[in-house]
Structure 1
Amino acid sequence: MPVTAVTTDAEALTMTLVGDFPAPKERLWRAFTDPRQLERFWGPPGYPAAFTRFDFAVGESAHYVMTSPQGERFGGRWEFVDIDPQSAFEVTDAFADESGAPIEGMPVSRMTFTFEATPSGSRVTSVTRFDSAEALEQIVAMGAVEGSTLAFNQLDAVLQDLREYARGKGTRTEILDDQHVRITRLIDGPADAVWRAHTDPALVRRWLFGPDGWRMTDCEIDLRPGGAYRYGWAPEAGTEGEAFGFDGETLVVEPGRRWVTTEHMIGTDYPPTTNDLSLYDEDGATLLTLLIEYPDAATRDMVLATGMTDGMEAGYARLENEVLAG
């Protein structure tokens, strides 16, 4: 994993994160100073950041909002204190409201990002300094160590060309923790077309039916927050298996970019999952990321054991070859 160390020092009132990457220092610097690249990893999985302002100059500021899978919004504000081009920059970091104004009573810290070349690529060291032990403890209790680690570990996909990053890997499933699984697949087509293929029922029916021998019997989609959807499948004649389906509701929708839903297996009392679909477009290719939150590790393992990844790969291949190609 890219993050090699995360440490806290109660005496120095600091939290330090170190990450090593197989990319030149200049490339790593761009990832942290270009807001469109920064928002791809500034925020752990499920809490992507959107920068509404980024004036990279001493005395100026940056504002961002992270949106949870349930639609909760958490804002932040940076004030740029010092910039050493290609080598380091320092900011004050504060919790902020939707307008970017700091929230009174919440901790304010100072972060320094330092970039250096290494024999295998480059390293970023992030040191966050707090005003008090109470502020450090509060931030750690809010999950800063775990969240920062998960966030920085998303940088690999940012630093590489998408096609190079995904070449030959197909559909990949990563277990992030007991409840979260991340599925990624490079789709050979632009994000707007991939979005339509996921949200237009007529197109969905052409590819979302898993292995050969199955057909989609139901496809109803309401993209509005709170809107319901329903999918159903049945085996063709000669194929073993029983009909099944899923239903749920839309929690968050950012057209062309992100769609978060609940998912429940129809006819069962299984607890629902939360499915967070996001799309990132680069040079005509789209990185599809699906973050699934399960109620517990046992449910996660039961679902993965069904061969879900193979079924999804069959669908995505069909999406590329039969829907987008046409």
Structure 2
Amino acid sequence: MKSNFLMDFTVDKETNKVNVKREFGASLSNVWSAWTEPEILDQWWAPAPWKARTKSMEFKEGGRRLYAMVGPEGEEHWAIADFTSITPKTNFKYLDAFSDSEGNLNVDFPRSDWDVNFSEQGDSTFVDIAIKHKNLEDLEQIIAMGFKEGFTIAMEGLDAIFAEKQK
């Protein structure tokens, strides 16, 4: 399902950043919950037909989310989000990385630094995300792995959750 909501995806090779601005037809409170509560995250974080499954999550500064992206054949790709800063309903930051099922870093893949900002305008909530990579090589590796396509599909999955809530 193609979304009618704004999604601006830019890659800045000068600063090794991906910037995503995404609009959702939902309240700030609902969008914040969708990004910070594992029960909702698991419904949309992975691009369909993949599913996300959170093993553990402590949404607090110094906390961590350990989760798997589970493929249609049952294959699992584990990842961690280490939360570095949280300003409720406004912003949170975390370090993202691939890992094993116990949360040990997979050094074969780059780690990225996410800065996620939330703002409400009328009936919409905007999420502005800056994803910083250590170097251009890391940025290009993530893009080559299909990050833009996968993230776009995941965002549309979140739209579907909000549309269902409005019924």
TM bracket (short chain): over 0.9
- Give matches, 1:260-271, under 5 Å: none
| Aligned equivalents of 1:121, 1:59: Cα separation in 2 | 30
Give the aligned length.
164
Aligned identity (percent) is 29
- Partner in structure 1 of residue 8 of structure 2: 5
| Aligned equivalents of 2:6, 2:155: Cα separation in 1 | 7
Deviations 1:109-133 (A, max 9, x none): 1001110011232111121100000
- Give matches, 1:155-174, under 5 Å: 155-162=158-165, 164=167
Shift in Å at residue 157 of structure 1?
Answer: 2.5
What secondary structure does 1:12 align onto? coil
| Aligned equivalents of 1:126, 1:48: Cα separation in 2 | 22
- Partner in structure 2 of residue 21 of structure 1: 24
Pairing partner for 1:114 from 113, 117, 120: 117
Gaps of 5+ in 2: none
1:144 aligns with 2:159: no
- Give matches, 1:1-326, under 5 Å: 1=3, 2-162=5-165, 164=167
State the superposition RMSD in angstroms: 1.3
| Aligned equivalents of 1:11, 1:19: Cα separation in 2 | 22
Structure exhibiting the larger radius of gyration computed from Cα positions: 1
Shift in Å at residue 163 of structure 1?
Answer: 7.0
Deviations 1:190-210 (A, max 9, x none): xxxxxxxxxxxxxxxxxxxxx
Q: Following superposition, which runs of at least 4 residues in structure 1 exceed 4 angstroms of deviation?
A: 160-163
Deviations 1:127-185 (A, max 9, x none): 11000000000000000011111111111222245470xxxxxxxxxxxxxxxxxxxxx
**Partner amino acid, structure 2, of 1:39:** D
TM-score, length-scaled by structure 2: 0.93
Shift in Å at residue 71 of structure 1?
Answer: 2.1
Shift in Å at residue 26 of structure 1?
Answer: 1.3
Task: Name which structure has the greater RCO, CA cutoff 8 Å, separation 6+.
Answer: 2
**Partner amino acid, structure 1, of 2:23:** D
| Aligned equivalents of 1:57, 1:70: Cα separation in 2 | 33
